[in-house]
Structure 1
């Protein structure tokens, strides 16, 4: 009887280790050089911040949730209008990245989406 119980608990421990390993592999986002920072959502997915590279000069920071797929963009540009008909645009990268970070963190605290399974 003791041997049977020992086998049962040994089998359960092995199953738990295998399940934990599979879960960890599915949750780990792929390494990328262009990721500024990552946030962990309540459901265990990841929100990644990247600078917009679709234009020649970066002009926005993009937050992408790898769980639910939500995408939020924080523009760097601030348009200053003068009293006349003229206006000009200031590129403020620090402010744009800070706004994107705040949006990503806010999303991560509310998103309950679990990580998407790896594609087959």
Structure 2
């Protein structure tokens, strides 16, 4: 193995996910394709074609209907969010920008041994750490 190219988080509404990840976080759509059995929707940091985030609705082909319903219930309760880790050149500026856009902040920028980071949450409970690394 030589690279991680794709990560995945579950979302309940892919259009709402696009509004958040593209409209608020500033990512760009990499792929938005109807495969018939699912919508393959990925986003990425602009200019970084090597890594994508799959914004996947719980359902086929990965999950049978009963399991998909359980996943949706856990997401709705905030009990099943995934984690994403992103970096920025200026944590305080990024934090202020995201607050102004109404992003759900879980903790404010804090100095840590590795840099400055803070937490946000997407509309589906997925947790995101944003860090300015030393």
- TM-score over 0.5 for the pair: no
Name whichever structure is richer in strand by fraction.
Answer: 2
Report the TM-score when normalising by structure 1: 0.28
Report the TM-score when normalising by structure 2: 0.26
Q: Please say which structure displays the higher CA radius of gyration.
A: 1
| Structure number with higher relative contact order (C-alpha < 8 Å, ≥ 6 residues apart) | 1
